[in-house]
Amino acid sequence: MTKKIAILLSGRGSNFLAIYENIRKGELDAEICAVISDKKSAKGLLKAKELGLPSYFVSFKNKLEGEKKVIEIVECKKADLICLAGFMRVLSRDFVKRFKWRILNIHPSLLPSFPGLEAQEQALEYGVKYSGCTVHFVDEGVDSGPIVKQAVVKVFDDDTPEKLADRILREEHKIYSEAINIVLNNQYVINGRRVLLKKS
Ligand code: GRF
């Protein structure tokens, strides 16, 4: 049976759209049951509305109230998985506990390097020769949960944060759907911090 995902975003939503496209092309068997944003004018939310998807603005002025509302939507829609796609907030311990192993995030660096904001700038400043992106389960920390998938991207001498971000984003658009597939199909086991693929 097709599983349901809820997407949380705060911005332009290119990862959400890549997931949407992969579902449309039949490369990902999932249904987007809700797109939720803490920003009323987020491009991603407007796009979701245009596409006719169930779309919700949730105010996070009061974080607890905001999370309560998200829980209501996610549970009412019976989402199997919550996918953070450029959602610019740290979720509370209680929220994360409630949805243990049911929240994924994508981050534009090879974690554990460069967590937090402006990961691409951090990578350039540090001088790494390779960076990339990471899809991981969300735990109580910031960008710290067990890693489901990563992709590597070369850093060039003439890179700017924007050029590097674009190159990384192309990989993000591939690996997020691949990671969602693994999780929705229960193709993994967790061993400590390691997310291992089940042998088929
Ligand atoms: C991406 O770089 C993602 O890795 C990070 O926030 C950005 C969101 O971009 N968490 P978009 O809104 O999906 O285009």
pLDDT in tens, 120-151: 999 999 999 999 999 999 999 999 999 999 99
CB 138 within 8 A of CB 8: no
List the residue whose alpha carbon is closest to atom 2 of ligand 1: 108
Question: Using 50, 70 and 90 to split pLDDT, how confident is the model at 189?
Answer: very high
Protein fold of 106-200: Rossmann fold (3.40.50)
Which residue ranges have their beta carbon within 6 Å of ligand 1?
9, 11-15, 44, 85-86, 106-108, 169, 172
What is the reported pLDDT for 123?
98
Burial class (CB in 10 A: 0-12, 13-18, 19+), 18: buried
Give per-residue pLDDT as tens, 42-88: 999 999 999 999 999 999 999 999 999 999 999 999 999 999 999 99
pLDDT at 109 over 90: yes
Alpha-helical runs (H) found in the chain: 14-24, 43-50, 63-76, 93-98, 119-126, 161-184
Statement: the pTM of the whole predicted model exceeds 0.85: yes
CB 140 within 8 A of CB 99: no
The predicted model gives 89-118 an average pLDDT of 97
Element (H, E) at 117: none
Distance CA 134, CA 84 (A): 12
Domain with CATH 3.40.50.170 in the chain: 1-99, 106-200
Whether 136 is catalytic is no
Which architecture does CATH list for 1-99?
A: 3-Layer(aba) Sandwich (3.40)
pLDDT at 200 over 80: no
Question: Using 50, 70 and 90 to split pLDDT, how confident is the model at 199?
Answer: confident
Question: Using 50, 70 and 90 to split pLDDT, how confident is the model at 166?
Answer: very high
Distance CA 148, CA 24 (A): 23
Catalytic residue among 47, 107, 136, 149: 107
Give the DSSP letter of residue 127.
T
CA of 13 to the centre of ligand 1 (A): 7
The predicted model gives 152-160 an average pLDDT of 98
